[in-house]
Structure 1
Amino acid sequence: MENVTLANGLKMPVLGFGMWQNTNEDEAVKSVLKAIEVGFRHIDNAAAYQNEELVGKALRESGFPREQLFLTSKLRNAAHGYENVRREVEESLKKMDTDYLDLYLIHWPVVEGHGEDWAEDNRETWKAMEELYKEGKLKAIGVSNFSINHLENLVSHAEVKPMVNQLLIHPGVTQDEVRDYCREQGIVVQAYSPLNPLSVLRKEDRVREMLQKYDKTMAQILLRFCLDLDTVPLTKSAHMYRIEENFDVFDFELDEKDFEYLYQWQHSDFQESDNQNERPPQIS
């Protein structure tokens, strides 16, 4: 598995296995075991996904060395604030049965109850994460769904800058301005939901030609696009054959014209999320 180096020198695998919407115990455990078997070493999770215990169970059953895995979790939207973070991290560590997390993220920048004071809210939340990072319980810290103004708020006040920003990215939603800012600041961008436009794109004649040209599936083309965009795609599936398929993306690259076609592709069904005004769900 290839790696990208975070600002603090930590190596992060360039392809992650996501756990969003994977709450069936049998399917969740088997999918993590299969992901590790085929070569995934990067497991992306969140408290809001309500399956951290299932990841912990799978990791115990796998017997795979903890130090060879890269585990991520994210702060619940209802648990922002300096006083809450330590409790939340300890809960995630307990559920995932580990002494540390490789990466911990603020899941959303603006949450219910903090529309007007989101800047102070994020600074106080980040301060607690910095403390846990210095203690070694969090090997790297970052954010998710942060736009430039959200990032600037932390960068201008933080002792430790965010190392990762996890964003919705796929053809049609490439978030160029935020990615450019992250690149300037040494922040690695992860791409979640990279397969979102799969069912629409596969109807395009040009894309069908790509499938034959590279002898790859639509999912593999989309994951390769995100890799060639210098982002870290996070893919998920509970189907064993798709987990294998989604890992098989390291033996080809898109040529310049095919990459540009996907980069320029637009569709009205796929738009950037409104990270300033949206209020994501609160999981109690």
Structure 2
Amino acid sequence: MSLREFILSNGLIFPSVGLGTYRIKDLPLLSTSIECAFKAGYRLIDTASVYKNIPMIGKILEGRDDIFITSKLGPKEMGKEKASSAIERMLSELRRTHIDCLLIHWPGVQGLDPSDPRNEELRIETWKVLEDYYKQGVLRSIGVSNFNISHIESLKKVCTIVPHINQVECHPQYSQKELSSYCRHNGIHLQAYSSLGTTQPSYDPLGKGIKPLLEDPTVLKFSSVYAKSPAQILLKWALQNGYSVIPKSIHDDRIIENIQLFDFEIGSEHLTETEQYPCGA
């Protein structure tokens, strides 16, 4: 089982591992990171309006139509006119006639209280814009990010196209099992970000002093068993659960390591053990 690619509900094949570019705004650094990623075998780059690096990515990737680009509309770009304008701007900045995957980055709209009903109205309005561009062939796939089940259900009531992807935080400390099951049942691919967890023990609902994932005893045990780094264990956990991943790094050795995931498989008993603990508990 190589898991090098996944297939979306519309039949589009895309790489299972991509390079995240959050907070990489320096052109030389972004360029060297992407070049390292290409040499290592990456063929997917993840960006977003709020990352403020789309023009740089467009410059770096000009002429590289073999690279799958995922981008996202920001909270300031919700609504028919703003979403349409943002998509046209992205196409220009990326120097492309199409975008491989475009997501709504967050369910909320900047400046609105989370309880404001206009959030849902503008979400639906924005989704219809994505549907229109998808039907024109400008967007090869469309989806959402950070949406929970109720957000997706509200879209399903009015949409003609169910989201192809939902990009969310997902790792053993935050496994999103209910959302994952829902997405799978509805033909929505779950793409995981923050697959390595956080460097801070922030997710600690029981107050047990849970360690960062990369230092977790169970992860370290499997790292030893499979002779792989803790990061590789966590990324492989995601792949074997059916999630694509978009790890971000600016360090060549980590960029290379993060895609060297296809020469081993975590045994089913170990995969189950990983899923049954809260990490570090």
Fold in common (TM above 0.5): yes
State the one-letter code of the partner of 1:246: N
Tell me which of 233, 240, 243 is aligned to 1:221.
Answer: 233
1:128 maps to what in 2? 129
Q: d(CA) in 2 for partners of 1:216 and 1:185? A: 34
- SS state at 2:168 partner: strand
2:73 maps to what in 1? 75
Which consecutive unaligned segments of at least 5 residues does structure 1 have? 270-284
**Structure 2 length-normalised TM:** 0.89
Within the alignment, does 1:233 sit opposite 2:245 as a pair? yes
Within the alignment, does 1:258 sit opposite 2:260 as a pair? no
Q: d(CA) in 2 for partners of 1:202 and 1:87? A: 41
CA drift at 1:260: 2.0
2:257 maps to what in 1? 245
- SS state at 1:87 partner: helix
Q: d(CA) in 2 for partners of 1:238 and 1:149? A: 36
Q: d(CA) in 2 for partners of 1:208 and 1:76? A: 37
1:46 maps to what in 2? 48
Give aligned-pair identity as a percent: 36
Q: What does residue range 95-114 of structure 1 map to in structure 2 within 5 Å?
A: 95-114=93-112
Q: d(CA) in 2 for partners of 1:88 and 1:201? A: 36
* Paired residues of 2:170 and 2:193 also in contact (CA < 8 A): yes
Task: Give me the CA root mean square deviation.
Answer: 1.8
CA drift at 1:54: 1.6
* The 10-residue stretch of structure 1 (104-113 or 162-171) with the greater mean CA deviation from structure 2: 104-113
* Paired residues of 2:47 and 2:69 also in contact (CA < 8 A): yes
State the one-letter code of the partner of 2:135: K
1:15 maps to what in 2? 17
Tell me which of 79, 87, 90 is aligned to 2:88.
Answer: 90
Q: d(CA) in 2 for partners of 1:2 and 1:161? A: 24
Runs of 4+ off more than 6 Å: none
Q: d(CA) in 2 for partners of 1:211 and 1:180? A: 27
Within the alignment, does 1:162 sit opposite 2:174 as a pair? no
Q: d(CA) in 2 for partners of 1:184 and 1:204? A: 31
CA gap 1:184/1:238 in 2 versus in 1, 3 angstroms? same
CA gap 1:254/1:77 in 2 versus in 1, 3 angstroms? same
Q: d(CA) in 2 for partners of 1:6 and 1:28? A: 28
- SS state at 1:105 partner: strand
CA gap 1:98/1:6 in 2 versus in 1, 3 angstroms? same
Q: d(CA) in 2 for partners of 1:109 and 1:206? A: 34
CA drift at 1:197: 4.5
Alpha-carbon displacement from aligned partner over 1:16-48 (angstroms, at most 9, x marks no partner): 111111112111111111111211111111011
CA gap 1:173/1:258 in 2 versus in 1, 3 angstroms? same
* Paired residues of 1:172 and 1:264 also in contact (CA < 8 A): no
- SS state at 2:258 partner: helix
* Paired residues of 2:216 and 2:279 also in contact (CA < 8 A): no
- SS state at 2:212 partner: helix
- SS state at 2:161 partner: coil
State the one-letter code of the partner of 1:34: C
CA gap 1:129/1:201 in 2 versus in 1, 3 angstroms? closer
CA gap 1:45/1:184 in 2 versus in 1, 3 angstroms? same
Q: d(CA) in 2 for partners of 1:121 and 1:268? A: 40
Q: d(CA) in 2 for partners of 1:95 and 1:232? A: 26
* Paired residues of 1:170 and 1:195 also in contact (CA < 8 A): yes
Number of positions where the alignment pairs a residue of Structure 1 with one of Structure 2 = 265
* Paired residues of 1:171 and 1:197 also in contact (CA < 8 A): no
**Structure 1 length-normalised TM:** 0.88
- SS state at 2:197 partner: coil
Q: d(CA) in 2 for partners of 1:57 and 1:231? A: 29
* Paired residues of 1:33 and 1:59 also in contact (CA < 8 A): no
Q: d(CA) in 2 for partners of 1:101 and 1:204? A: 38
